[in-house]
Amino acid sequence: MQPVSLTRFLLEEQRAKGLINADLRLLIEVVSRACKSISIAIGKGSLGGALGSAGSENVQGEVQKKLDVLSNEILLEANEWGGHLAALASEEMDDPHPIPHRYPKGEYLLVFDPLDGSSNIDVNISVGTIFSVLRCPDGVSEPDAQAFLQPGAKQVAAGYAVYGPNTLLVLTLGDGVHVFTLDREMGSFILSQQNLRIPEETSEFAINMSNQRHWEAPVQRYIGELVAGTTGPRARDFNMRWVASMVADVHRVLTRGGIFLYPRDTRDSSKPGKLRLLYEANPMSFIVEQAGGAASTGHQRILDVQPAALHERIAVILGSKNEVERVSEYHKTV
């Protein structure tokens, strides 16, 4: 069978199904090309002089890696001039990035985390890029932060790239989840899996156990039951996996099932979670739901949350549907 490239796949989605228009197709192709450039930079490692700290901090006060800055620049430069975007927003920048006036503007907004899990770069563990596409609100010609504050349910596309032993692009257009593998010789993303489905049952969980003492009661109860194994109320053993790169952890869940938790804890009442709603939680929740899973804060569906700020943080519980629903039920009893 003839390999199906990302470009061909998108054209077929446009022509046969009418799921996307030409501008959205172009946007996704441009993002995929940027991901290929990021993959090349990561693949060179120390040979490319891009490892280590950039000596700066992002808007969240986190120390930036050189590859954080480089990945952000690659995505900005790739998407500025195509005429398919009204504006961009990045986890690495305080404010939205406007399209320069010398270029035409489109109807979409692009939101991205240019290099998720970058703290793992120096130890050669998988990292990734996460992106989300929204429509620019009607009548808005100069989008500001307010234009981006849309619930995740309004996303028209979302995806992520995994830079691991091979480079993968995982994509949803709101009609299932599909995986493309980068053929390095051809320089193209090739369709390798279609319509991924997350099993409703699982025996794996992913959580940062070092934060256990800070978790709220519902999460303490849930994880306690899993750790108790065959001697506990679940009467079976569970395995824990934790990479500390959301892309890698969620991709494992998407591939073979599981539940991923970065819950709210008691350390800082002003921060309802660690992960960013717009850049991480919304796109990943959209993908997980499209694969038959579920995504919740513990109290509500993530995709229903109305964002209040560009860099808002949120609790995230996502993955196999039955386990996410169980954790959510535990939150109702507190």
| Residue numbering of the annotated binding site | 91, 113, 115-119, 208, 274, 280
Residue 208: strand, helix, or coil: coil
118: left (phi over 0), alpha (psi -120 to 50) or beta: alpha
Binding residues for substrate: 116-119, 208, 274
**Binding annotation for Mg(2+):** 91, 113, 115-116, 280
Residue 13 is given by DSSP the state I
Three-state secondary structure call for residue 63: strand
**Residue 258: count of CB within 10 angstroms of its CB:** 26
For β-strands 85-90 and 108-116, DSSP reports them as parallel
What is residue 170's three-state secondary structure? strand
Token couple for 216: 């709220």
CA distance to 34, 36, 183, per residue, from 186 (Å): 16, 12, 5
Rounded distance, CA 199 to CA 180, Å?
21
Q: How far apart are CA 320 and CA 112, in angstroms?
A: 25
Q: Which of 82, 80, 112 is nearest to 99 (CA)?
A: 80
Which helix (DSSP H) or strand (DSSP E) does residue 7 occupy? helix 6-12
SS (H, E, C) 241-306: CCCCCHHHHHHHHHHHCCEEEECCECCCCCCCCCEEHHHHHHHHHHHHHHCCCEEECCCCEHHHCC
The first and second tokens of residue 11, run together, are 């054209």
